[in-house]
Homo-oligomer: A and B are copies of this chain.
């Protein structure tokens, strides 16, 4: 039996650079994990392949998935649904391959409720002190907008405690390498290897 794959969830505030870091990670450090294929109700574009770019489904089919609890998380974005089919994730994990999700903070916490065994990584802004100063000093925003931005930032940073790891996105390559280290290190945990060793020990006795 193959070792179970890991569910890796990369999340963080809007605009922190999750997509860029994920792309860099896949381009330079991806050996053995799959970027999760999402399900969507948006129209298939030319050249896109069902089951590869997305699982393309009708609105009715998608809502059936929601009703049956078959989505790890989902969101509605400009009139179309996007979501992560839980069966697909589980099948990939069972085959021993890791699944990588890149997702908003709220979505990540929903995933954590369903799959707490996942590895939750919070990508944080490079310099939090500076972020604060920037928000305060941004001359173009009125006091109300500043307050809203501060609230949003404080709220999202306050959710770090629900994550396993925090990686500062100081440079894209450094952040990607750190995420690679986390994934490698998680695979080396004794709890994920003990069955294999126990079997060998039994045979050696």
Instruction: Write the residues of chain A forming the contact surface with B, with a CB cutoff of 8 angstroms.
Output: 122, 124, 128-129, 132, 150, 153-154, 157-158, 160-161, 163-167, 178, 180-182, 184-186, 188-190, 193-194, 197, 200-201, 203-205
Contact = CB atoms under 8 A, between A and B. Distances in A.
Contact of A157 (B154, B161, B182, B197): B197
A189 B201 CA distance: 32
For chain A, what secondary structure do more than half of its interface residues adopt (helix, strand, loop), or is it mixed?
helix
Nearest to A205: B154
B160 A185 contact: no
Contacts of A129: 200
Copies of this chain, tallied across the complex? 2
A133 to B, nearest CB: 10
A178 B181 CA distance: 8
23 contacts: A124-B197, A128-B197, A128-B200, A129-B200, A150-B204, A153-B204, A154-B205, A157-B200, A157-B204, A160-B193, A160-B197, A161-B194, A163-B190, A165-B185, A165-B190, A166-B190, A166-B193, A166-B197, A178-B185, A178-B188, A180-B181, A181-B182, A181-B188
